[in-house]
Structures are given as C-alpha cells and as structure tokens.
Structure 1
C-alpha cells in the first residue's frame, strides 16, 4: 500500500466521520479529555478539542492526521492544564466554556449567541451565528503559529507570541509583529515597538501590508500595490506538503514543512531569520532571562550570569539569574560590596537616577555608595543607576564605539580578619608574651565567673519574692532584668520571627495569663545608656490603636531587649503574600488606612515627632481582629552607624528605602516614610512583593509595572482581575504613585494621604515619570 493511497484512505474515513456530525458542531455538544475528546475537520487532518499538556489537558487546535500531534492554537494558553473531570461545553445559549465538576465555568473564546461551529481543513476553527456568518475564528486570534491562507494583519494587538517551549504552550518571551509600516519585526514581549528592543525585521517595508503564508510555503507581505517576499517560495505539489510558521521560544520565526508522502515523516525547517547573514542567535533581548546575558558565538544559546549572580535553575539556564547572596538591609552585617565592570553591555532603560559624571570611576563610585543601586551604565559622561532585576540584558561587541560600560554591584561574605602573618622573629619573646596573656585571661575568667554567680544568686532572691507582672497603674514601660526575660521566654526557646533589629521570642507574664513578644535587639549602641533610656520613655509614651504598645525593656549590661504586646496573626507580610490568607479588597483598604493613621500619629500627633525609617510589611503586625499595628518605631537612631562607604548612615530595607538617603547633603525628613508607605500600599493593592523575579520580566518591579498599568488604563492587572471597586482601585494607585516620587518635596504629607485614602480629598493625576526623572536630575545639580 503506497503512502499516498494510505493518506487518501484515511481522508475518506475521516470524511465519513464528518458526515456523521463531527465537522459541524451544534449547541449542546460536549467534549471530555478522555472520551469524545475533539471535533475533527472534514478530512480529519485538524482537530479542535483536548490535547495532553504536562500532567493535564489543554484546549486548542492540533494536527490529528499525522503521527506528530502538533499544536497550532491554544485557548487560554496561560491558564494551568485542566484535569480529566473537566468538560468542554458548547452551551445552549451559544457559548463555548470549560466546566468543572463543581459547575464553575471558564470561557474558551470571546463570543456568545452562536448557532454552530466548524473545524475546517485549513486549521481554522470558525464559529457562526444564525445567519451563517462568522463571528469568531481561531485564525483571527493566533497564538504562536501561522497556517497557510491565514493572515497576520498590521495590528499591534494581534501578533504571534512564542510559547514557553514545544511542550508548554503558555506565553513565552517574544513576539512577531506585522507593523503598519509594512515591516515584519521581532520584539520581546512587554516592550515598546521601537528600535531599542527590535532585533530583526524585513529589509524593506510594504505600507499597510498583511503577512501571508500560502499553501505552497510562500511567505510574503502584500497590499494592493506592493509585494515583498519574506521566505523563498517552495516548489511542491499542492496538498502533499503541510506548512506552518511558528514563533519559537528562542525569539525567532521558523517556517516548517511536512511531507505527507513520507512514512514516519517529520517537520523540516525551510526558512528562518537565523539563516540570514549577520543574524546571531543572541540578538533577542532577554533571551537568558533577568540578570543574565547570551554570550555570542556558535548556534547554541550560551547563557551567562552577571557578576555576583547564579542561575535560578541550573537545568534551564534561560530562566534567569539571582543574587548569590541574600541581603535584606542596606548595611547587612558580614557582607563585602565591590563593583565589577562588564564591557559592552546594555539592558532596558529603567534607570531611577541619571547624573552627569566625567569619568567611569565617578559612575562606579556613585553606584557603590547608593544602597538602592545594583548596577550602573556609563556612556557619554552620563551615569544611569538601576535597581534589580536587570531586564533584557544584551552584549555588544566590546570594540564597538557605541558600546557602553556597565558596573555591577557584587556582594560577598566579609573575608576572615586573619591578616598576613609577619615573619618569625624573636620566637622566644612571642612565646613568653602569649603565656602572659593566657595567664591574664585565666585570672579575668575566674573573676567574671565569681561576679556572675553572685548576680544570679541576688536575682533569684528577687524572683522568688515577686511575680513578673505589669501594673495597670504603670505610666511607662517597665524595666526588666535579663534574668527575668530569660524566665519569661523559657530561656528564649520559642522564636516568633527575625527582623532588621533582631530576633523576637514568645513569652508569658502574670503567671502565664498574658502572652508577650520579647525582641532581643542587635546592632545597637550599648555605650549610650542615657540615650537608650530616653528613647524607651518616648516610645512608651506613644499610644495609638495602630501602634504596637511597648510594655517594657531591658538595659542589663550589654543586653538590650524590648517587651511588646503579642500579635497573634503575625506580620502583614505573612497575611499578604500567602494566597490562603489573602485579605479581601475591603480588608486590604482598611489595613492601608490603619497603617496611614499610625504613621500620621508618629509624624504629627505624638509628643516628639518620630521618623520610622523602616516601613515595610514585616514591621506591620496584625492583631486578633486583623487590625494593622506598626512596630519598631523610634529605634532607628539607636542603630550602630556603618563605617563602610557603601551605606554610611542609611536606614531601612532594600526596596523600601527612599532615594534621598543616597544624596549628599539632602536632609532626611518624614517623607522617607511616605515613600516606603507608597511601596507598601502597592503591595497591599496587588498582594505581591515589591520585587519578584519569579514574575514575567515586565512585572518584576512593582512600582514600574504599576505606573505602566496606570498609564495604559489596565489597573485590573494589578489585582489579577479580582472583583474590586475600580474607582477605589484607581484612587489607591494614584495615592501610591504620588508617594513614591523621587523628589521628596513632591510627595504628600501623611495627613494629606489619609484624606485621599478616605476619599475626602481630590487626587490629581501623578506627574509623568520621565518628567519627574528630569526634575530629579535638576534637583541634584542645584544641590
């Protein structure tokens, strides 16, 4: 039996099935993943329905008439695979939905009131109304594939987007666009259609043209006047060879052919931009993910991490890189920071600060001294600083005169303090000296033990004569001894958490009737006794329902501990970033207002104005009613000053630190808390962290993504299309964007913020970020 006879035999069988109702689909038809799983085209070559993906199933169009089950279109491609208990239902009211066993529905395509549907032999799934007119087609909503007779119109919203991989049809990183000027061009997903991001296009334009693929494998752009060949035409017998154009996960188009007359045939590449002279596989920006670049050379993708970074997934190097060390605070103890230059590197221009500097060394130093700066670009005496992640990284040829110098901040553990050993001289004197030192230490140790034992005996007598309790008549925080706090916490046994100031332990007082949180402070000034006690009195006199109450403190010898009321629901971070604990929209808005009220009290209503300096979700605790209370206020001035050049005098946590901390001679005011509150407000709105490298690259930095969504009128993306009051959402986002302006004088006060959050004050449109960036640059120059 010849292959061509076999093909026509299969076609006749599939045609019989089509005549039995398989090709014309009527409302009331149902598919399941395991039985009656698809609707076939008349010849049986194409099918619409369930196909296997990962551990579940997806819905789409695929080639069923060849051994290779090739997917050419996918519905809801970014949704997770479904289970075998799901049904695909063409409802009686003309909708196409996925229906779970519990009855929940997910729309497969955007249409309603359909009267019929058909899977055509072209690979197009078409839906018709009662007048037999097409109301929806898969050809008009492509994913990653263009089939013969299908057109890609000059429409920026209808493009070919790559899949994650051959087996995962979720949206990948790259797209092919048919532009209005007639160019077929390739760009990373989430970027502007500009030369900065484009990495390949056709050689000449056909204005307002369409991209066409005919049934003989001829790819061309045409309009009523012009005609541009994109790929070489094929000389094949019509109907015996299949063609498809696919946008691949490496960022390039490939035109494939499949010969139906060959037994056990396979898809062959007949054209790709990579075949053209001068096109390199490393051209696509962001090919290797965040914080990584593609090292040019050869036909393989060779991803390399930036200095100080390691691969997120060593088995999949295109997934990007992350820091090889984690640091939460700007002045993290035990870390050494250096700068490393990489020649000829560029990435997406999301600099938060630009300044005129004469030399590369000046730019290097400016980034080194700035806690928020993770990398800097220097070109033509302009130094641009940027935070993480570094997206769409690319490498130019270092000898290119347009190449840019890049400086990457590298963090390593502080090397051992052992220095170079001096040459051995006078060994006898050294032995005698060491012996004397050891003898002195022994004497001191014996004396210390004797003193310690006497103090323990005295404290035990005190503890035996009284219960540890707090009097309702106390007007300020009570002073505890270290021995008392050891007893309260059962020897510091149960750890509740760790923060920027130290470790928190669970304890009980009043004979176990009252639970407290005991924080052992670290990195504090132990030699400034009077200042510590003064601050404790100030903190103890601050009382507000949205501030954690300080019940007591310990200043026993070198020990510094604080005793707070216990919060049973942990921190805002515990509630906000765990999906199962996610508060409702109304709860989140209440939390935001409560935090604002607490900061407003610290800034304007307490006896002495307090700048918190470290507003973040981890420092906002939740009581039994999920009422937000701010902790760790008033402690910033007690921190040890870091003598290193990288972060002298800087307080706060990376991601929440206001830019003015890093400006010379710029006074730090209450507006640093306003900036941090703005970042936290965006986190509350979207229930995600301010920087998350696990998200798509264009969404990784929350403040940048929020402004992009605001400008494009797509605020629903910030709440993942959650059902919320859109007017309230817009108001909250506008408040947050005002708070995070780089110029502190432009940020509103907490009083104004509270009025805007409560809806009693109008909120102007936040300034354009590019305008603010220019203003910020002028502000620094005027200093």
Structure 2
C-alpha cells in the first residue's frame, strides 16, 4: 500500500513539473476579440489571441498587459484585420481556425496529425500537442520579425520587418540566415548579393547549417551544425531574473536586441543594434529619396524637383513636381538644368559611363543626353542613369556627387521686366528717384553728425592711458597699440601662451580693473573692415560660460584682443594637479557649463561659431570656479598653417576630430568630439594621452571604452562615493561624442540633455565603429 502511495505521489510531482511554465488549452476552447480574447502563459508574461490592429483585429503572440511594442508573432500578417464578430476556435478534431460570422474558416494551424491540446508557454512559444504530449505545431517554427529566448533562425529562413510599430504587415527590410553561414540584412525584393547587403555578420563560409540563437542571458550568437559557436553578436551575461530578451528587425531596418524588465511594464531597452547608422538600411526613404542623419535621427529628403508621395510614410518615395517633357521638344517655355546632390550614394545602376575630368563635364554630358535623367560623378567616372534612383543616403565620407535633371519654366522670368515697364511711366520713375535721393542725402548728414559726436566722446574716454569706463560698455572698444602697451606696462607680465598667441596681464581704470591682453600671431592679413566685422561677431556673444571680449586693437600689423581676466587660470591648471582635486559633483557641473557654452556658440548666438580647439587649456575658470570658454571664433583669423600640432589641421593633438585628418568638411560635430575628450578627462582626472600609464591605458578614449565594455568603470575613477548609474550615464555621453563618424555624434543640445538626465542614452558603439564590414 505504501509503495502504491509513493508511485501516486511521484506521478503527481512529474505531472506538476511537466505543466510548469505552460497553461493548457483544451479542445473546444474559443476566443473572441471582445470577450475572452487571449490564452495567457502560466506566468502571464505572454499571451496568444486577438490584438487590435487599426480598426480591426489580428491574431498573434504578444506581451500581456503591455500596450506598446508588444507583438512578437503574427498570423497572416498581410491579410486585412478581422472584424469584431470573428471567433478563434480550437476545434474538437484538433484544428486551430478563425471563423467569421458567416461561417468562413481560415486555418491558423493545421498540424499533420490530430492535436489533443494546446499551450501558451512562458517562452513565448504557442504549441499544439498530440495525445502523447509531443509537439505537432509551434509558432517558433514560423517567425515573423522577432526571435525570443530559446528560438532559432535556421539556415535559409528570414525575418521581415513590420511596416511600422503599429502595423504588423510585412515591411521593406529582411534579415536572412543564409545557407553559406552569413547572417545578412537586405531590402525586400532584392537578390541575396553583396550589392544590396547593408549589414552582415561576416561569417561567410564558416560552417554549414548555421543558426542564429538567443539565450536566456541575452547572448546572441551563430551556431553551426557541429554545435560550434562561430560568432558572438553580443557577449550575454545580462541578468536573467525578471528580465526577458528578444531580437527584432524593426520597421526602420535595424536589427536590435531588446531587454524588458518584468517589474517595469513598458520599459524596453536596446542592448545591441546591428548598426548605429540609422541611414544604413537601403530604401528607407523610398524611390528618388535619400536619407540624412541629424543628431542620430534619420531624415528623408527628396531629390531636387521632387516631392514626397506621402510625408507620413517616406518609404513611398518621391515623385516629380513638374511634368517631364521630352528634351527634343520644340517648346521653349521649359528649360533643363542639372542640380547637384553632393556626398550621396545610390544603387549602382547605370546605362552608360564616361571618363571625364570634372564634375561640370559630367553634368553637361547628362544635360545633352535625352536618355539621361541623373548622373553620378566619382573619381573621373561619370555614370549616366535613368530614374527612379534607389537606396539613396548621404555619406560625408563618400566623394560621389549626383546630378539631377530638373525642368525650369522661362515664362516667369520673361514676365518680370514687361510688368515693370507697364506699371510705371518715366515720369513716375523720375519723381521717385528724386524723392529717394533727397531723403538719402538728409539721412547721410544726420548720420555723419551722430558718428562724429560718438567718435569725439569715445576719444575722450580713451585718453589718459587707456582709462576706459567699461561700466557703461555696450559694444567693443577699439584700442591703439600704444594704449595696450601702457595697459600692460610694455607687455611685461605674461599669463600664458596658447595656439592663438601670447596672453599678458593688463590693467584699466588706473589699475583698478585687471584684464587679459592677447597678442594674436600669424593672423590673416585682412583689411580693417573684415577684421572689425569678425570682432563684432565675437563681441555680440554674451553667455555666462564664455570669456567676454572687451575690445580689440587693429593698428598696422598688430592684432590684439582685450578680455576679462580669469583669476583661477585654466581648467587644465586645476584638473591635472593632484593638489587642486575637484570633487565629482564639481566636475560634472563644470562639464554641464562647458556644454552650455558650446551650445550657445553652435545654436544660440547671432552667427554660428565653430570653436575648433576645445581643450582644458582653453576653458578658463573665474573666481567662483565657473568655467568659461575662451578663444572662440578666432579660427577664421588664422593662417592655414597656424596649428598647434598638425600642419593644415586646427586644434590640438588628442582633441582633434578624425575628420580633420581625412580632409572632410568640418562641422560643429568637430567641437562635439573635442568636448567628449574633455568630458572623459573630467571624469577620470587625467590627460587624454599620457604615456606614464601602461600602454593599454595610455590613450584614454581606448582605455575608457575597454573598461565600459568590461563593466569595470571603477578602474577609471578614484572617487569612492560616485553613483554607479550616474557614472555609467556620463561615460556613455562621452563615448557617443567621440565616435569617428561625425553624423553619429549627438548635437550639443542633445549632449546637454543627456548630461542633465532628461533623455535616455543608448549603449554607445566602439568609438571607431561605423558600419559592419560586409
């Protein structure tokens, strides 16, 4: 009797374990969109059933209770949504069908043998079992755009993106696990060739029957038929308790690894993307459109002479905003010109090519050819093309320039002059001319009197050896060289030397106010008007984190600037001296203030200014240790060979953005790079390049990323009381700023928001990464 009880007890334990992690659905069960709409897994994480799509309903697997980004599998994704009157039936003969109110049936799962039960598993897999509890059908075998933990994408299988986050129908991108062992992303309706691949794992020929696998700890990798791991896409090792992971090819064409914390519903985090360049996916902007990056956000633009078909859906592409007539037409009212679109790449498709010396020759050759609608010029090769153009994106690293044939109407131009003649008679024109002339003469006399009085008063203020009353100053003062000699006592006390010249200590108000006088070296030989124009641009900048320019000297060949005096020297004087150690909160506040100053120069002052030499030596500290950026706006005044380290490159070694070396166009993103280096120096209290450290630690940006990747940020800071989350956040800001590709770096506005903790910061790539090699 005891042995029988033991067998019964053991059987109960086995049955309980077999059903752990699943909820059984029996034959005859049904669902409707408006009442019982889904079968949930035992944990309640996943559900199988109806979800709302547009004005109807679709059937799929999704996260239960989470309203956003939840669908992980969809049945018949390209069919129209079902009406609210449909029913989902698990029939008595083991079929899973959707039945309309009229009795029409659509098979969702029709297994090869009779199903006896079904289950929504905690893994996210919906399965049908036979009477022996063997799986006869499962959703994991038919992935749509997502892979879940434990699910595999086997060789020859594909994932297809959705049309949008809210529309689960098939989109325009695909991810294929090829039979050659390579995992590759393509646009839809293209061949599996390198010409159309925009990302690949680089595992071609590494094995047969390769599968893409995702483990419970977020480890995403490729496994061959012998069970050998041939490529890690992520390292894994992420927390497994109350966290789920999934990978998805998103509507924007990027393949991403997501994590979801079950304790924080709706909180999805991106742990890894296939590419950080959101313009990498080919066809994102449709036909005759091209993608540009702005602060890491992909924007679509149409070719010249084209407009968007549907601004709400850029994949629809662009169409001409004029009616194209044959260039052989006798109609003189329409002319054609070639509009350039520089630094863009397109599908490599052409019907003819020429070897020409210049881009202008290429444009002219296309203009003369009636079959040519566009041309691309690269390295003396001119490729003639027909429309539409596909897979366009802007790439500042690419020298290719496209030319688009655009029609212009001559009727508007021809009408301008006749209208003018008809409107005014000669008498009218004469009267108007005399009136304006007299008015102009009167205003000139008034202005001359005002200028004379102003200069007399200014001269009086400037007398007595530069004793200038700056308390009433509303503009820059113009000093003579002798004025500044007296103010600096013959340029006696040197405060420091920089890339722009030497700085001397001076006094005003008979010694009551200290100023800094900078003597510029190797300044461009400009006329007085040009130099004063530049000074006025700088003089109109007013921000608490910029050193204020008080005046200037343009006397013969002498060019000097008068600044407010900063009593605490430079940030370098404080940051790199152990005895002057700043606490963590001070350093972060300094970083925010520097960012505010650069943001003002880039976006908020009257004329945009690129500093070109952001470094601790050019960040001065006032009496309250508030940082102020100096030497801004002076790069324009330098001769081309005036550099600190490299010929032809503005800036200082260690802080110079990579685009300087590549002779690429330099934008405000060069300052973002330099700020990123300064930020890392502020965090770590050390110089960006210091060979007193071991070789692997000498270059700060490389050492910092290595520690970040290994989750060993504590090695980089000596502060013991730093909040770990804040430390990681600040490091991520710095690593985003120092990316090699300028378009991937955030704007200073975004940098400031990230520093202040008001926006989420994705995991940054390696500073030297851009696009994976195909």
TM-score normalised by structure 1 residue count? 0.46
**TM-score (norm. length: structure 2):** 0.46
Higher-Rg structure is 2
